[in-house]
Structure 1
Amino acid sequence: MPTPHHRAATVRGTATGLIAVLALSACGATVEEPVDPDRKVIVQRCGEEVEYATPRRAVVYEGGSADKMFALGLTDHVHGYVMPPANPPVTESPWAQEYAKVEFLSDDLLNRELVVDTKADLVVAGWGSGFSDKRGITPEILDGLNIQSFIHTESCFNYPGFPQRTTPFEGLYTDLERLGRIFGVEARATEVVQGFRQRVEAVRAQTTGTDRTPVFLYDSGTDQPFTAGRQVPPTDIISFAGARNIFEQLDSRWTQVSWEAVVQGQPEIIVILDYGDQPAQEKINFLKTFPTTRKLPAVVNDRFFVLDYNEGISGPRNIDGLEKFAGYLRSLRP
């Protein structure tokens, strides 16, 4: 990993000297933390150390980014969100009320023009999903426009120049802690992370430790299936629940594999990633009729688990997905 260097990131606009009152969604309590308009902190952006000033007009891309902000009580710092149509409706989110308080900016992919036009002072997204060399919106480009950026740690392992490797759930915790530092709500971030860790440990305590049921995650694809490698949250979800992703050894994020490799893995459960482009039931119907997959143990025994899109990408709802999948596994035990 290259040695991180310091890059100052200036912002459009300034923070006010108000007191931010943060609603604790889990227990209904409140925490008051002062926001210093001149406050600046050094926080890692993947493997690079960057100076941040407190943002007031953040633009967030997809549910995972928005949920991280809302979970930290930072709704007042979010100007708006970009939500491509494949994402489930925000009305289904645990933070639906928070989405209603900020502006819906676009149902297209993240782009530089939108960020500039909205006078954003922070963009929160993943590398390769929101941020993209091909689409001309990268942290480096935004630095040149004096717009701060935050990359999901889970997506940093192939970030050019400044990669960072971590397991997906640890990446989630790291993001919450880093955002806590950027916005001066470290105590709130610590509380949220501790709560998530406790929920994960509660699930792991219920596993046998020996039942490594083989699981295949099916995202999409007919000629070649698209699935989850080691570097994305579903692999941790499957593992922490006590099972095994048959592609957990693939050192990648979301990736294509062969149907032959799926058959070789003999999955006893298939996790269907559910999002707007194609209903989960259509994917299940395909697997039941496709000659290569219809005799797989999971298909023969009708063992399909539907994982919501926002439970599968990096975000607080990963914990919900883990609890649900662990419950499904327990329901299969004799």
Structure 2
Amino acid sequence: MSRPLRTVPARLLALALAAVTLTACGQAPAAQQAQPSAAAPQAGFPVTIENCGRKLTFDRPPAKVVTGYHPSLETLLALGLGDRIAGRTYFGESAFLPGQKEQYDRIPQISETIMLPQKEVMLAQGADFVLDNAMASFDAAGGYATVAELDAAGSPVYILGGWCSPEETLQYTLDETFTDIQNLGRIFGVPDRAEQLVSQLRGSLADVKQRVGGRTPVKVLATDGGKGPVNAYGGSGITDQLITAAGGENVLKDVKGDYTEVSVERVSAAQPEAVLVSDYATLRGEDMPSSPAKAEETFAIARNSPAAKEKRYLALPVAAQHPGYRNILAVAEIARFLHPDAFAQ
């Protein structure tokens, strides 16, 4: 793999900056094995997984895990692995999935932002596994421990969704989420549990497809606000995938990229019938307007659109727009918003 492994998605950086305000790769070498154990080998191990062009080999399930941004934590919690998590980052009053806030509160916080802690603090955690969904927290220029440094310390890194480089964020498909869950199931020695979860999620997708199939797709604009240019989501990546799977049509599908800037004129001409607004929950401030405020900005720009006339928008937790378990849940949520009559029964 010749592409760099470092990427800082704009919306993830925005989240980090907001959290900071409110709370105070080149090719990596092949990952080394998890620290050896003198105990007898566990059934099903060793396990080798490929991630970001590196091979991660585990002689036993990780027992001291550090998670990065919210979707990485909630994915492990969905697999019933909360007891393996020794440290997590800060999410404030984020949009937690049912039952997960209590588990979040019990896990030690090791960073005051959504990013992993700085290098010295991170290396001091002694983690035997690190899970995140972007390369932003492994950027040496930002003072973070790199993937290579963590590998060398016996803390192998797994990146969700194949978000290993800017180019690869654009190649995301929903199948990446299933692959991640299955990989994590193997890494933690709970493959049956992972397959059961994947089966449930595939069933949810199949139900949505059956309900919205044959219906005229709703024209959707996905935005993160802005009076000009507008922060919006083009025809590549997670958000476009969510819209399409939910029975929508991204009005910016011809715009290259995932999170990008779009002119006011383009948004005005798009004529969306519904709007998705990235919601940062209670991460608010002068530089982080609320979802209703961002929706009103969009309606003012696309004032003659059906969406503006009906004030039709859905606040979508930004965690759903990053790789993780929540991606599949978001498809059903968006589908109910776009096609409520299909879920009336």
Range of TM-score over shorter length: 0.7 to 0.9
Question: What secondary structure sits across from 1:150 in the alignment?
Answer: strand
Please name the residue that 2:303 is paired with: 294
1:147 aligns with 2:140: no
| 1:156-175 correspondence to structure 2 within 5 Å | 156=164, 158=166, 166-175=171-180
Residues 233 and 240 in structure 2, CA contact (< 8 A), matched pair in contact too: yes
Q: Which piece of structure 1 moves more, 249-258 or 3-12?
A: 3-12
Cα 1:332/1:279, change in 2 over 3 Å: farther
Question: Which region of structure 1 is more displaced relative to structure 2, 265-274 or 223-232?
Answer: 223-232
Q: Report how far residue 271 of structure 1 moved.
A: 0.5
Q: Deviations over 1:116-166 (max 9, x none)?
A: 12222211112244333542443223223332100012413537xxx5975
Residue number in structure 1 paired with 2:24: none
Count the aligned residue pairs.
309
Determine whether 1:313 maps to 2:329: no
Which of 44, 53, 58 is the matching residue for 2:50? 44
Matched residue type, 1:46 = C
Aligned residue type for 1:325: I
> Counterpart of 1:102?
107
Cα gap change, 1:125 to 1:326, in 2 (>3 Å): same
Task: Return the alpha-carbon distance in structure 2 between the equivalents of residues 57 and 170 of structure 1.
Answer: 28
- Aligned ranges 1:248-327 → 2 under 5 Å: 248-275=253-280, 276-277=283-284, 278-288=289-299, 290=300, 292-327=301-336
Cα distance in 2, alignment partners of residues 49 and 95 from structure 1: 31
2:308 counterpart SS class: helix
What is the TM-score of this pair, normalised by structure 2? 0.78
Deviates more, 1:235-244 or 1:76-85: 76-85
User: Which runs of 5 or more structure 1 residues have no equivalent in the other structure?
Assistant: 18-34
- Indicate how the Cα distance of structure 1 residues 221 and 193 shifts in structure 2: closer, same or farther if over 3 A, else same: same
- After superposition, the Cα gap between the structure-2 partners of 1:213 and 1:16, relative to the gap in structure 1 and judged at 3 Å, is farther
Summarize the Cα distance change of 1:2–1:129 in structure 2 as closer, same or farther, 3 Å threshold: closer
d(CA) in 2 for partners of 1:231 and 1:127?
Answer: 16
CA distance in 2, matches of 1:6, 1:235: 33
The structure in which a higher percent of residues are strand is 1
- The whole-number CA distance in structure 2 between the counterparts of 1:231 and 1:130 is 23
Partner of 2:82: 75
Do 1:6 and 1:51's aligned partners in 2 also have CA atoms closer than 8 Å? no
Query: 1:81, 1:106 within 8 Å by CA — same for their partners in 2?
Result: yes
Instruction: Return closer, same or farther for 1:262/1:137 CA change in 2, 3 Å cut-off.
Output: farther
When structure 1 is superposed on structure 2, of 62-71 and 49-58 the one drifting more is: 49-58
Matched, 1:130 2:141: no
Change (3 A) 1:273 1:167: same
Cα RMSD between the aligned structures?
3.1
Deviation at 1:284, TM superposition (A): 2.0
The 8 Å contact of residues 232 and 314 in structure 1, kept in 2 or not, is answered as no
Distance 2:236 2:185 in 1: 23
- Is 1:203 the counterpart of 2:212? The answer is no
Q: Using the TM superposition, give the Cα deviation of residue 66 of structure 1 relative to its aligned residue in structure 2, in angstroms.
A: 0.5
Partner Cα separation in structure 2 for residue 96 and residue 59 of structure 1: 17
**Structure 2: 5+ residue runs without aligned partners?**
4-26
Structure 1 residues 298 and 164: CA distance shift in structure 2, 3 A: closer
Find the counterpart in structure 1 of residue 234 from structure 2.
229
Cα distance between partner residues in 2 of 1:245 and 1:281:
21
SS at match of 2:48: strand
1:25 maps to which residue?
Answer: none
2:192 to 187, 190, 211: 187
Question: 1:297-334: CA deviations, max 9, x gaps?
Answer: 3112211111122333222222332222211222378x
Q: Distance in 1 between matches of 2:255 and 2:57?
A: 34
Instruction: Say whether 1:328 aligns with 2:327.
Output: no
Bigger relative contact order (CA 8 A; separation at least 6): 2
Q: Equivalents in 2 of 1:70, 1:120: separation in Å?
A: 17
Q: Is the 8 A contact 1:46 1:153 kept in 2?
A: no
Which structure has the highest helix share of the two?
Answer: 2
CA 229–165 in structure 1, closer or farther in 2 if over 3 Å, else same: closer
Aligned-partner residue type, residue 279 of structure 1: S
1:56 is matched with which residue?
63
